[in-house]
Structure 1
């Protein structure tokens, strides 16, 4: 047996109800009109005729498939019918109930006044709304919709308004959408999110969201009371409240903040349009906060770069000054040391020549012996001077042998451990050598009697690491400014991208860690 069930859609039901409501309203109005004016004579008949239109509307609605139109017709039918019933009810109570049913010419006047009152009742609501909107616009007290708030926020973002002021204006605009609304804006990271702005003003607060929860919150479009009570229970309002929403502010999967909107009890609930507007608002705010973070990071980078530039300029000035001082020192050493020895040798050689002319062989032999000692002293002087410029042992035998030799000349007992895969570039070995000798001199000056020094050199991860540690007196690094020795070491290391770290405490000795970027040189293959 075939199924003969007729399915009625929601749109058809709305058309049917709209017709029934209109018929009921019209029928009640005709009945009241009949009581007051005896027109029409048979109101029941006309009521049945109007009610018969309901099935016709049900059938005709199969071709009128617009659900929005059906809903609009139903709303207006109920509004018009209700207004008409109110008018006739007032006339029945105030006119008929007090003065009795009109007769003769009074019925015509009654009919005209009833019609005029009905028309006036239907025109009052739209006219009243238009006038109220016009007056509010003159007073600048119109209440924006959530969508208008989003549009205004997007426009203000393009005007370079400070972020704090922008968020305050945003919270105030959200509050104006529904009287009594509370709006909050939280900013920060998931580990430390703070209530930045709130209208009305609320005390500062901080919220922490764990890693897994932060991922879920950042991916959420918008959250209602049930969602908030599960994922962000601390944001559930404690005071009596109506409906509320929490919108995560995220960008590229990172949580940057939250927008909280709480409406008071008895006011309208959030509609789909409100939620869509809040989500769009959160997207725009997330982009704005992301840009603020980028600006802050860029500003910090620029400040760091400016600081590095100043340090580089100061370092270059110190290097130039040190070079000039070193050159003057070499000139002084040559003048006062090697040059004086050579002048003395020249004088003595002249004396030997004079004595030789006199034929005193014994005296010549004695003077030649003295000259040999003077020549050896001159050689030692020149070697010492050359050692201060660049040690030949470092060039010929490498960093390990040069440091062991320097340790033997140190003022304190020094143990050297070298673990290097091979030779390093000359600039790297030079920096390591002279910084190490500077550190050994500092240890000899300040570590105290009986202290010992341990010097360790190793290569690790594309770096040359040198540690110089002594078990001497130590000092408080926070109370003592670094001397010229440390400044020279930092300048020399900084020129190669290296760094110096100092660890010291009173009674615990001092340890210096020198790190220099550099890769070991490839071993030469013998021919």
Structure 2
């Protein structure tokens, strides 16, 4: 189905109105001439005056030649209908009252004067209603009356206060813009970072996208309400979707210097021109739409932050549960090691001391070998207690720092291990303990899974006040996508996560593995005390 050109339809309507104006004027002149002839017997020659109204025909034919005059067809025709209608009403009343009732009175001047006064009074009483009725008739012939531009602003503000969803709010805004400012159509474009999409349009048009470079983004974002010439230079995509023969106004939607969208309205090029009131209404609407879009983006960011916070909270709860379980397991292991290890050695030593006391009196020569065994048992007990203490919190870490503790752990590692610590200052005990035990866990994992002949390298450094550690090996490697949820990796992730740090694992079969962690020290006062 072909689309009717709005400009051509407007021209046809204006021509029809000028023709109707000429006919109305001609008929009114002819009827008025007849009325005066009946009432006052003037003019005596009725026919020439009856055809005098035809002089309006060439005027009506010449008026469309001027665009400015042609556009006044509605106003001229409306005023003519009202004036001619009131005039004919008055003549009709006088003819009915004076002529129709004059036969029932004598022909004296007093009788005629009385009838004239009655006719005048009736005309005055009917003038107001007739004028109002004629104006309503003219408005109906001229089409629906366009609402003022400020109505769009007032309507949008009211709907914003009712918390209408943004999609519905933009659709209602577009419909209001079309009924007030842009009868040919209205559009709302939204987006950010120079990428704008046609979100809503009335009448509905296909989706479209505009991508602006830095220069275009700066020019559009700082522009005021502009027309066709400006849009041809900076936003030709907007004009491409408009009807032929339309005048366009584009209002950039910005907030805090950031371009968030566009308001686009269109009118017939030969119709009523855009006014300063229209531009002011579009400017204020663009400001309010920018504020609304900014609030929506803040709400979206807030919802994303809340979702992330809920996820972090769930992770924190799970981490705390694992930490409690790990602490309980560690206590049970310490109790078991003390009961089955050091305690048994001490019991055995107590028995041997008792034997020594009895043997010293009976066979002094046999005391020497037993004392040697007792000495070895004491050394084994001391070694086991030292290992147990290292597992709880190594004294070297507390006294001498990360480098000494890590080098000591490397000397006892199952695989050849090198340590490089490029940190000169101390950190808080929590941070140093987290880094130490994570490195120790990674070294133990390498000893279990890297394979024979592998070597391990431990590095610790400082990057912008963040302590960074890395444990790498050149072993057989593993599939990192499937193997990072083991008990050891979970322990390491919980340790650094409790301090707000991060831990990553990278590996592939045949390419070794790398465990990297970052922990930021948030306790400068404790750092200072650790260095003293």
TM class by shorter-chain length?
Answer: 0.7 to 0.9
Residue aligning to 1:427: 430
| C-alpha distance in structure 1 between counterparts of 2:192 and 2:388, whole Å | 61
Residue aligning to 2:256: 252
| C-alpha distance in structure 1 between counterparts of 2:249 and 2:479, whole Å | 56
Deviation at 1:362, TM superposition (A): 0.9
Deviation at 1:208, TM superposition (A): 1.6
Aligned CA-pair RMSD:
4.0
Q: 2:303 aligns with which of 290, 299, 303?
A: 299
Go from structure 1 to structure 2 and tell me whether the alpha carbon gap of 1:123 and 1:219 turns closer, same or farther (over 3 Å shift).
Answer: farther
| C-alpha distance in structure 2 between counterparts of 1:339 and 1:76, whole Å | 112
Equivalent residues in 2 for 1:292-331, closer than 5 Å: 292-331=296-335
1:332 equivalent in alignment to 2:333? no
Name stretches of at least 5 consecutive residues in structure 2 with no aligned partner.
1-24, 45-73, 89-101, 103-111, 113-117
Note if contact 2:427-2:530 (Cα within 8 Å) is conserved in structure 1.
no
Q: 2:441 aligns with which of 438, 442, 445?
A: 438
Residue aligning to 1:17: none
Go from structure 1 to structure 2 and tell me whether the alpha carbon gap of 1:364 and 1:274 turns closer, same or farther (over 3 Å shift).
Answer: same
Name stretches of at least 5 consecutive residues in structure 1 with no aligned partner.
1-24, 42-74, 90-104, 136-140
Note if contact 2:420-2:460 (Cα within 8 Å) is conserved in structure 1.
yes
- Specify the SS of the correspondent of 1:240: coil
| C-alpha distance in structure 2 between counterparts of 1:88 and 1:166, whole Å | 50
Deviation at 1:237, TM superposition (A): 3.0
Equivalent residues in 2 for 1:251-400, closer than 5 Å: 251-264=255-268, 267-358=271-362, 360-400=363-403
- Specify the SS of the correspondent of 1:285: helix
Q: 1:183 aligns with which of 169, 181, 186?
A: 186
Residue aligning to 1:235: 238
Residue aligning to 1:127: 133
| C-alpha distance in structure 2 between counterparts of 1:485 and 1:171, whole Å | 59
1:470 equivalent in alignment to 2:473? yes
Go from structure 1 to structure 2 and tell me whether the alpha carbon gap of 1:401 and 1:178 turns closer, same or farther (over 3 Å shift).
Answer: closer
Note if contact 1:190-1:211 (Cα within 8 Å) is conserved in structure 2.
no
**What TM-score comes out, normalization by structure 2 length?**
0.74
Go from structure 1 to structure 2 and tell me whether the alpha carbon gap of 1:279 and 1:124 turns closer, same or farther (over 3 Å shift).
Answer: farther
Deviation at 1:306, TM superposition (A): 1.8
Deviation at 1:454, TM superposition (A): 1.7
**What TM-score comes out, normalization by structure 1 length?**
0.74
1:315-355 CA deviation, whole Å, 9 max, x = no partner?
11111111111000000000010001011111111111111
Equivalent residues in 2 for 1:453-464, closer than 5 Å: 453-464=456-467
- Specify the SS of the correspondent of 2:479: coil
Deviation at 1:79, TM superposition (A): 7.1
1:124-161 CA deviation, whole Å, 9 max, x = no partner?
675344478899xxxxx875433212211110101111
Go from structure 1 to structure 2 and tell me whether the alpha carbon gap of 1:279 and 1:126 turns closer, same or farther (over 3 Å shift).
Answer: farther
| C-alpha distance in structure 2 between counterparts of 1:510 and 1:124, whole Å | 97
Go from structure 1 to structure 2 and tell me whether the alpha carbon gap of 1:450 and 1:132 turns closer, same or farther (over 3 Å shift).
Answer: farther
Q: 1:414 aligns with which of 413, 417, 431?
A: 417
Deviation at 1:489, TM superposition (A): 0.9
| C-alpha distance in structure 2 between counterparts of 1:324 and 1:461, whole Å | 36
